[in-house]
Structures are given as structure tokens and as C-alpha cells.
Amino acid sequence: MIVTTHADMSLHSLTIHEARDGIVRGEFTATALLEAVLGRIEALDGKVKAYLSVTADAARAQAARVDEARGRGEPLGPLAGVPIALKDIFCTKGVRTTCGSRILENFVPPYNATVVERLAEAGAVLVGKTNMDEFAMGSSCENSAFGPTRNPWDLERVPGGSSGGSAAAVAAGECLGALGTDTGGSVRQPAANCGVVGMKPTYGRVSRYGVVAFASSLDQVGPLTKDVTDCAILLRAIAGHDPRDSTSIPEAVPDYEASLREGLSDLTIGLPREYFGEGTDPEVLAAVRGAAESLQSMGAKTREVSLATTPYAVAAYYLIAPAEASSNLARYDGVKYGYRTAEAVDLLDMYVRTRSEGFGAEVKRRIMLGTYALSSGYYDAYYRKATSVRSLIRREFEESFRECDVLLTPVAPTAAFRIGEKIDDPLTMYMSDVFTIPVNLAGIPGLSLPCGFTREGLPIGLQILARPLAEGTILRVAHAYEQAHEWHRRRPEPA
């Protein structure tokens, strides 16, 4: 693996803000930028396997329209000409949307998700759909029905999941930014594994309309980018109220880019002791503690806090999320749309064969877990108790934010693990998200950004959390840290 630095960059290596400014100034065209990205995909994606589909012709038409608008002197959108990738969980009109599953292998939506519409309104060039764990259920991008995505830093390792294809594409320069979804860490964990920035906004900050549902009370759309400035730009483009999503928050969207310029002297950073205990790789702990010291040197104050319910979060999550998945995935029955078995003797047999053949092992496991948790005689003992734990977790975060502006934690206990290392041990795999799951249960925003590398050259992620709708504060802290270090400037070159 060769690591490139900022000075070596060609067009595919630009950030969103560099590309946006270059197009506006006429330094290069949107078409030239797109062709550089398409060339990168052609050169690398046979190894990385980040994409399930590349929409080259449609992207070329979008880029041409941006160039024509600029030629006429028309104002350009904040993402004009920027090649963006989409996790294959977003409905895209006329473009296949599979959710990484055989049951939706040939599904072509008749409409666009709200975030897809907003990207188009901002002038983005949508370059393709990225690989993912089936129905967003996984932590490694190994559960896709179409094969695993590989980490650009080490092709024998996972990129993280479930938004592994989006994170890998950004890291490898196969797009300038991407969207993923985060139900239990599925944006932040792959961002950490691939050395990019990934954000889970406050629940309701970004519309879920047109996002294929996994667990509706937990799912949230988030950006994956090369740096914090790009994250602020992409988040602002997709955030905001949507009347088509009943959980969407009717609040104005602030200028997240403007918040990056504020200092840290008035901020208090909390370090939750439960996130720095046994079971976490010492290299990860050292990098995160080093980040806290760095922020302290910039004027922020730090203090230890306690989130005592943290050990119960994974258990609560794996009752709540599968229960919601059991309900949401009931629609895939071979009748309404999607895959239908070729052989069935009657209606019941058609249901059973369709779902048995169409779903992968992890999806079946979670459907069974969720159905059991909701079944008569077990609802109170399992699901209701899990929702009570969820309330306790939310209240603990609320208490901590009375003392602190943000919390600092690791994103995951380890850096990226090897492909196949945990796939046959679900409990060990589930613990990969032990530090991200509580954030989804509480509905608060969280961000991952690079804070170092292991001795083996693998990225380490730093997680920054804040109270609901305080994305600007998170971005402010992340940007200050990023400007003091060079981690985000390192890029992989897959061998």
C-alpha cells in the first residue's frame, strides 16, 4: 500500500469544497472532475468493490448541465458538479435499489428519496450506488448478497458496516463524498475503519422518506466525507424538515460551515469512563486520549463523566432493532414487489420459500430475534424492558450534557479486523458497535473522524457526541482538532 499526501492530489483526490471552488472559478469543468472519478472507479473498484452500480451515463448528463449553467453565468448550487455516491438503501427513480439483498435484486423505485432530491437541487452529480450489509444489518459489509467490500487501507480487512461501500468509496477517491445510514453505528464505524469523516445527525434532522427501513426509530441518514468542512457542507445540503416524514424535526438548518470558525475556549469536553475500560485496543485508547489532550491544549476543558447504563445498550439494541426489522421486513413476501420464488405449491409455501431464498443469514437471524421479542408472553419480558433501558440511556446522556458540551469516546474497540474474522461469531461482531449503539438509542448526534493510525497502518476513529441538534458544536470541535493534525490528509492507494 502506498500512502499519498495532499500535495500529490489529482482531481479525484479533491475535497468537496476544493472541487466546488475549482468549478466556480473555472479551473476545471464538472465533466473533467467526473471523468477523473470514473477513471478511479475503473482502476480500483475491481479490488475494493465499493459499488453495486455505477450510473456513468446519467452522471455525465448531470455534469454537462452544470458546465452549461456555469457557461451561461447562472448561480451554481453548493454541490455543483461534485460526484457523490449513495448507499444502495436510498430509493432512486429509475435506478436499481437492492439494499444488498437478493429479495430486492431487480427492484427499480418509481420515485426518489428526499435526500436524493436535495442532492440534485444542490447540483451534485450522483455517480452510483454503493455496497452495504443486507438491509443495513451488519458491522463489516460482509453480509451483502453481492459479496463483501474491502478496506482500501488493507484489502484483506473489512471497511466496516453497514455503510462500508460508501466509506470505502470516499477513502479510495472513487467519489468526493457519499451518503450512508446509521442505525447503530453504520456511518461512524465504517468512517473510522476507512479513515474518513462520518456523521450521524440528530434523529429527525434529516428526512428518512425514501430510505428503505431497517429500524424506524433508530435509522438516520448521514454524510461520509474526506474532511470536516465537507461534512458540514453535505449535511447542510440534506438536512431540514420534510412533511413526508412524520419524524422530521421542523427546525431551520444552520450554516454548519460558519460554526467551524469558532474557538474552543468556552467548551467542556466529557470523557465517559465506561468507554475507556477493558476490551478496547490500547492503541485505540492511546489515540483517543491523545486527541483529548490536544483539544485541551487548544483551550477546551475536560472532565470525566459516567454513563453507567452503557453495558446494557447492546442488549437493549438487539431487542429493539430486530423487533422493528421484523415488522418492517414483513412486506417482502413475494406478492407486492421484489423477489418471488419460482416454485411454490400454495400461498403459504410461496411466502416461506420467497423469504428463505431471498434473505441472507443475518437478516433471518434478526427477523427471528425480533419476532420472538414481540411474541405473546415475551413482549413485556424483552421488548418492553429494552425500551425502559433505552429511556435510561437517553436520560444519562441528558445529564452528562448539563455538565459538558461534547463527549469524546472511541468509535470502536479496535481498528478494522480481517475479512472472515468475526462473521461466524455474531456476538463478537455485535460488540464492534458497543460505543456507537447508545447514540442511536438516545437519538443524539455523533461524528467520527481520524485521530491516528495503528502500527499496522490502519486508521483509528475519534467519536464526538453532543446534545440533540448540536451538530454545529460537534463540527466545531472536530474541525479544530483536524486543523491541528494531518491524519485526514493521508489517503490509501490499494495495491
- The single residue of 13, 139, 140, 186 carrying the catalytic annotation is 186
Which tens digit of pLDDT belongs to each residue from 369-415? Answer: 999 999 988 999 999 999 999 999 999 999 999 999 999 999 999 99
CB of 107 within 8 A of CB of 98? Answer: yes
| Phi, psi for residue 187 in degrees, rounded to 5 | -100, -45
Which tens digit of pLDDT belongs to each residue from 81-104? Answer: 999 999 999 999 999 999 999 999
Which sign, positive or negative, has the C-alpha torsion 121, 123, 129, 131? negative
Q: Within a domain: residue 104?
A: yes
Q: Within a domain: residue 125?
A: yes
CATH number of the domain residue 93 falls in:
3.90.1300.10
Four-CA torsion 263, 265, 267, 268, nearest 10 degrees: 140
Q: Within a domain: residue 399?
A: no
Count of domains observed in the chain? 1
Q: Within a domain: residue 410?
A: no
Q: Within a domain: residue 76?
A: yes
Q: Within a domain: residue 234?
A: yes
Q: Is 265 a catalytic residue?
A: no
What's residue 262's pLDDT? Answer: 85
What's residue 135's pLDDT? Answer: 98
Close Cβ partners of 134 (under 8 Å, ≥ 6 residues apart): 99, 100, 101, 143, 144, 145, 359, 360, 362, 363
Q: Is 129 a catalytic residue?
A: no
Q: Is 356 a catalytic residue?
A: no
- The single residue of 13, 49, 87, 166 carrying the catalytic annotation is 87
Four-CA torsion 367, 369, 371, 373, nearest 10 degrees: -150
| Phi, psi for residue 78 in degrees, rounded to 5 | -65, -15
Q: Strands 125-130, 83-87: parallel, antiparallel or unpaired by DSSP? A: parallel
Which tens digit of pLDDT belongs to each residue from 108-145? Answer: 999 999 999 999 999 999 999 999 999 999 999 999 99
- The single residue of 101, 162, 248, 326 carrying the catalytic annotation is 162
Q: Cell digits for 113?
A: 428519496
Q: By residue range, what is the domain housing residue 47?
A: 2-264+468-493
Q: Within a domain: residue 303?
A: no
pTM of the model: 0.96
Q: What's the mean pLDDT in 199-205?
A: 98
Q: What is the DSSP string of 299-324?
A: T-EEEEE--TTGGGHHHHHHHHHHHH
Q: Cell digits for 450?
A: 481520524
Q: Within a domain: residue 446?
A: no
